[in-house]
Amino acid sequence: DVKVTQSSRYLVKRTGEKVFLECVQDMDHENMFWYRQDPGLGLRLIYFSYDVKMKEKGDIPEGYSVSREKKERFSLILESASTNQTSMYLCASSLGGAGNEQFFGPGTRLTVL
Amino acid sequence: GQNIDQPTEMTATEGAIVQINCTYQTSGFNGLFWYQQHAGEAPTFLSYNVLDGLEEKGRFSSFLSRSKGYSYLLLKELQMKDSASYLCAVRSNYGGSQGNLIFGKGTKLSVKP
């Protein structure tokens, strides 16, 4: 079974703090993704990576950065958290190839006060 | 532009059949996915269509018409545990050779006894 794990299920931070969200997958997937999910807006892609040390911006990268130093790990960084970054953050991974589904982690519900 | 439309909410009765529609307009097309997401949980993969026609998988079937930009997910013999959100996602042409997923906002299905 593919397993995608995220470092925290719930996180509360203060405005201006630096926040790290970690994601690890154990199936040697090339591709990794970070999404946020908000009511009425659905899943939106923040950043993705198709290889180690490679990263590309998704649809809403402002205020975020990422790091992929190892194939199995993809980190999302909020340099200075703001209240509008309160959301559910979902990490996903997949094999390369158009027909391969993405496997999602359990999500981190981040609240920024 | 990129746009995926699906109904916001649907209600159906246990044992019945329900069809959840999805229409899309995207920059290119490399396949369509359906995911199921129970409240507070991660999305899980249900089906993938890349060619026109019907794909059947147990109680769930998914249909695709590329010329109409249309798909549906058919759920038969509904069970209470099918109460969840159903996400339609299209793989576009951007985001590397495989293309990224663009998600609809999801359809919340409530199954009543």
Q: How confident is the model at residue A1 (pLDDT cuts 50, 70, 90)?
A: low
Q: How many Å apart are CA B100 and CA A23, to the nearest integer? A: 19
Task: Verify whether the Cβ–Cβ distance A42 to B104 is below 8 Å.
Answer: yes
Give chain A positions within 8 Å (CB) of B87: 42-43
Residue B97 is predicted with a pLDDT of 46
For chain A, the three-class secondary structure string (H helix, E strand, C coil) is CCCEEECCCEEEECCCCCEEEEEEECCCCCEEEEEEEECCCEEEEEEEECCCCCCEECCCCCCEEEEEEECCEEEEEECCCCHHHCEEEEEEEECCCCCCCCEECCCEEEEEC
Higher pLDDT, B79 or B92: B79
Q: What is the mean pLDDT of residues A11-26?
A: 97
Residue A91 is predicted with a pLDDT of 97
B93 Cα to chain A: minimum distance (Å): 10
Mean pLDDT over each residue of chain B, to the nearest integer: 93
Residue B100 is predicted with a pLDDT of 84
Contacts of B56 (CB under 8 A, 6+ apart): none
Q: What is the mean pLDDT of residues A45-55?
A: 92
Residue A100 is predicted with a pLDDT of 85
Mean pLDDT over each residue of chain A, to the nearest integer: 94
Task: Verify whether the Cβ–Cβ distance A42 to B95 is below 8 Å.
Answer: no
Task: Verify whether the Cβ–Cβ distance A96 to B91 is below 8 Å.
Answer: no
Give chain A positions within 8 Å (CB) of B31: 98-99
Q: How many Å apart are CA A112 and CA B11, to the nearest integer? A: 34
Q: How many Å apart are CA A80 and CA A14, to the nearest integer? A: 9
Judged against a pLDDT cut of 90, whether residue B96 lies above it is answered with no
Dump pLDDT digits (tens) for B7-28: 999 999 999 999 999 999 987 8
Chain Cα centroid distance, residue B13: 19
- Judge whether B88 and B72 are in contact, CB under 8 Å: no
Task: Verify whether the Cβ–Cβ distance B98 to A106 is below 8 Å.
Answer: no
Q: How many Å apart are CA B40 and CA B37, to the nearest integer? A: 8
Task: Verify whether the Cβ–Cβ distance B100 to A58 is below 8 Å.
Answer: yes
Q: What is the mean pLDDT of residues A84-95?
A: 96
Dump pLDDT digits (tens) for B67-82: 999 999 999 999 999 9
Q: How many Å apart are CA B22 and CA B74, to the nearest integer? A: 11
Q: What is the mean pLDDT of residues A50-71?
A: 93
Percent of chain B at pLDDT > 90 equals 81
Contacts of A24 (CB under 8 A, 6+ apart): A4, A5, A72, A73
Of A4, A58, A99, the CB nearest to B31: A99
B40 Cα to chain A: minimum distance (Å): 8
Which one of B48, B101, B102, B107 would you mutate to disrupt binding with A, by most A Cβ within 10 Å of its Cβ? Answer: B101
- Judge whether B92 and B30 are in contact, CB under 8 Å: yes
A52 Cα to chain B: minimum distance (Å): 14
